[in-house]
A and B are shown apart, each in its own frame.
Chain A
Amino acid sequence: MKTWLREHRLALHEALGRLASQSVGFALTVLVIGIAAALPLGLRLLTGAVDVLDRGPVATAQLTVFATVDAAPPVVQALGERLGRHPAAAGVRFVSRDQALAALHRDAGLAQLMEDLGSNPLPDAWIVTARGGDAAGLETLRDEVSGWAGVDQVLLDADRARTLRALAGGLRQTARLLGALLGVALVAVCFSTVRLQVLTQREEIEVAKLIGATDAFIRRPYLYFGTLQGLVSGLVAFGVVAGGSESLRHALAPAELGAVAVLDALAPDLASLWLAVGVGGVLGWLGAWLSVSEHLRRTSPGG
């Protein structure tokens, strides 16, 4: 056990030595892989955020009913009551045009625009929560309500939910595909960087074999090197995503995305860190293993 530990310590030491002797090449490689790998990792986070949006309150079976802008208050009131009485409506929340305007005013960028407009261009609206909430029922309700006098437009939030779900699905698939491609790329890059090392150390490998080194002994420092390269690439990817998500969160904060949960979902979590570093390490190891094994197979003496 003690010997085993020492062997590994020495191999790691050797790998670090090689790393130090070609630190620029190592840094560049790790940067390239890391930045590339940040893409699927970032997409993964984005997918999570879209999932949260999808699961959030905006995605419940809701209709937004807009009155015409010029609808008189009695008409508006009648419409509200009629909506409230409708058997398919479980709840109706009135958002007056003044409330809507006030909400827009809170957004600094739009306030000036509103003032320039002079009058309030917004209609009164109701947010109707549908009973049951299956898509077909909602659509029937929408078609019915859009026909009422004084109703300008009815928006079905389920459309949005469906879009979100499709978006999340698409993102997830893209993330997986990119992740797989980058995994292959990482193995290939480690394969070739380790191959370069193996070729410069060919003499050493040959002599070590001649005087009794096992394949495992020869492979060990290269495996450490490959693993380190993968680990650090994963760290770089995580760093890039963390930085990117931080700035994205800043950009999104004032907008009314509503749910804090969405912003939280955009923050890179520990799982992403482990995923990036773990997958990076394993793939780096694999690339190195394949590289050295291929060399050993080609040069195996005794022919």
Chain B
Amino acid sequence: MAHDTALISLSGVARHYPGGVEALRGVSLQVARGDLVVVSGPSGAGKTTLLRLMAAIERPTAGSVLVNGQNVAALRPRAIPWLRRNFGLVFQDHKLLSDRSLFHNVALPLRIAGFEPREAARRVRAALDKVGLLHRERAMPAALSGGEQQRACIARAIVHRPAIVLADEPTANLDMAYASDIVSLLGAFHGVGSTLVIATHDVAAFTPLGPRQVYLCAGLVGPQMQS
């Protein structure tokens, strides 16, 4: 894959944390527009760190992260919010706002992007419908089960139709039936041209989508397999 066509390009990326933790130790990875990449690996391998670097939530200690050809580390702080709007983020810990209804949680990206409220409401309901939570739109996150929270988080990640979805353990709390629903939902999203990077322990759940697999271990990329 040519370097210049990559939507996300990591080269020699290291990320060290205070205390001598080396979460990533020189990862190079290209994600092309329209790719579906599944990153797997044991707990603590650096999967979450990898996604956070892609979304400019963290900066690499060494190496470079390019998104759309832009070096994320060199971006002015003011430019970072605009970069982030290209992403839909599914967080491992959901990060739903506990004092807002499900509807408002899912509407947040649209609020931020300045959508007209009626159009925003229409899109929020469509997204909630896709994850099977339309009937719970008024519920507060605490009133949702773990799996429902997970699905709410996915709805929030796709509601603004981002070019890239970065999903951290999107099926972690779901039973088989819902997991496969989420997988096909993400698959459908990929099908309409979105780029997906999914970090998961559960590679098998995503094999039906025929993803490119990246195996991460102790901050290094293992042999890349194409399924």
Contacts and interface: CB of A to CB of B under 8 A. Distances in A.
A6 B57 contact: no
Contacts of A206: 95
A212 B112 contact: yes
B167 interface: no
A203 B98 contact: yes
B57 A301 contact: yes
Contacts of A300: 77
A72 interface: no
B84 A210 contact: yes
A213 B81 contact: yes
Interface residues of A, number: 21
B59 A213 contact: no
A303 B61 CA distance: 10
A7 to B, nearest CB: 6
Interface in B85-102: 85, 87, 89, 91, 95, 97-100
A207 interface: yes
Interface in B69-111: 77-78, 80-85, 87, 89, 91, 95, 97-100, 108-109, 111
A212 B82 contact: yes
B97 A212 contact: no
A213 B97 contact: no
Interface in A107-142: none
Nearest to A7: B114
Nearest to B72: A302
Interface centre among A207, A208, A209, A211 (most CB of B within 10 A): A211
A297 to B, nearest CB: 10
13 contacts: A7-B114, A10-B117, A207-B108, A210-B84, A210-B95, A211-B87, A212-B113, A213-B112, A217-B81, A301-B58, A302-B57, A302-B80, A303-B59
